[in-house]
Amino acid sequence: MAKGYWVSVYPVISDPEALSDYNALAGPAVQAGGGRVLSNFGRVIAHEAGIAERVVLVEFDSFEQAAAAYESEAYQKALVALPDGFERDFRIVEGIG
């Protein structure tokens, strides 16, 4: 079975402290959904149209598990805590078997 991944790129983080409420809710929601954070706040080298900002990569045992974790009540509460004016590019992608 192919794994599932959350890929989040944050093109603009004007106030990193404002993410604390989201982070406090999102971390436990991801873990409860079976997710494992593989990359967070690490170094980034951007090429082509890439943006050298924060990238978060979360692995799940399946694509379906990744999608369900996003739709979970716990993660939906975390999304409400994202600050106004916050930008991110978020995707759920299927890995190769």
Domain ranges of the chain: 4-94
Q: Which of 8, 31, 6, 7 is nearest to 19 (CA)?
A: 8
What ranges in the chain are assigned the alpha helix state H?
20-32, 63-71, 73-80
Give the pLDDT confidence of 71-80 residue by residue, as tens digits.
999 999 999 9
Q: What is the average per-residue pLDDT within 32-59?
A: 91
Q: Tell which CATH classification among 3.40.50.300, 3.30.70.100, 3.40.190.10, 3.40.50.150 matches the domain 4-94.
A: 3.30.70.100
Inter-residue contact 81 to 25 (CB < 8 Å): yes
Q: What is the pTM of this model?
A: 0.90
For residue 53, pLDDT beyond 80: yes
